[in-house]
Chain A
Amino acid sequence: MSTTTDSKIRIQLENFSVTDEIEAMKKVSRNIGGITTFLGTGRELSKGQNIAQLNFEHYPKMAEKKLEEIRQQAIKDHGIIDMSIIHRIGPIEIGENIVLIVAVGEHRKETFTACEWAIAELKRVTPIWKRETTTNGEVWVQDTP
């Protein structure tokens, strides 16, 4: 498993370490006073159906570009110091990590708002798709709350 934390925007097959990603972001500035993270994980139940496995697909280059735009806008509009966004693709088992957003700032308030905005924006504009495998077969998810 790769634990490379060099890039702040990554789409990868491998799992990631939340601790390693937070530690990497703490090195960005000595002025960080607050860190907010959002970790999305594989959920077993979706719309009343039992999920056996998830599978994520992305549009290479465009998806990374959108995530970088989200990062830049979060820094500009919410006044945070920096943000990292990591999204996994390929097969994901129930309970496994899917997506991690780490927002670091001088104070907690801007990191909370930036993190919440970023995950909503990721779902809205990033060309990533989720396929669920249920007992009834496979289905591409068209909308996620």
Chain B
Amino acid sequence: MITVKFFASLKAIAEKEEEHIEVQSPISMDQLSDIISKTSPKMGDIIRDNKIMISVNQEMADADTVIHDGDEVAFLPPFSGGS
């Protein structure tokens, strides 16, 4: 099972904070965005357009990162910490 997390502005777009996806074998980021598109087409577009950052298991990832069963994928809008 893959855990997908949405943060900040992306929560409203995805209409959820977290999603769990069952996979039989490793999947690509494209495949993951296709799965997410089924329930949230706009979120799928944002992922494919590289408008946001992605982390896998809390390390920065990119479109070529392969996702394995048990991974935690997070979609991260531009950061705005500090003051």
Measured as residues with beta carbon below 8 angstroms from the partner, the interface class of chain A is: 20 to 34
Binds B, one of A21-29, A106-114, A123-131: A123-131
B74: chain A residues within 8 A (beta carbon): 59, 62, 127
A57: nearest residue on chain B (CB-CB)?
B8
Question: Does B83 count as interface, using CB distance less than 8 angstroms?
Answer: yes
* Contact yes or no, A128 B77, CB < 8 A: no
Measured as residues with beta carbon below 8 angstroms from the partner, the interface class of chain B is: 10 to 19
> What number of A-B contacts does a CB cutoff of 8 Å give?
73
Per the bound structure, the CA–CA distance linking A141 and B80 in Å amounts to: 6
A123: chain B residues within 8 A (beta carbon): 79-82
Chain B: residues with CB nearer than 8 A to chain A?
Answer: 5, 7-9, 55, 58, 74, 76-83
Question: Does A52 count as interface, using CB distance less than 8 angstroms?
Answer: no
Chain A: residues with CB nearer than 8 A to chain B?
Answer: 40-43, 56-59, 61-63, 65, 87, 98-99, 119, 122-131, 140-144
Per the bound structure, the CA–CA distance linking A71 and B5 in Å amounts to: 26
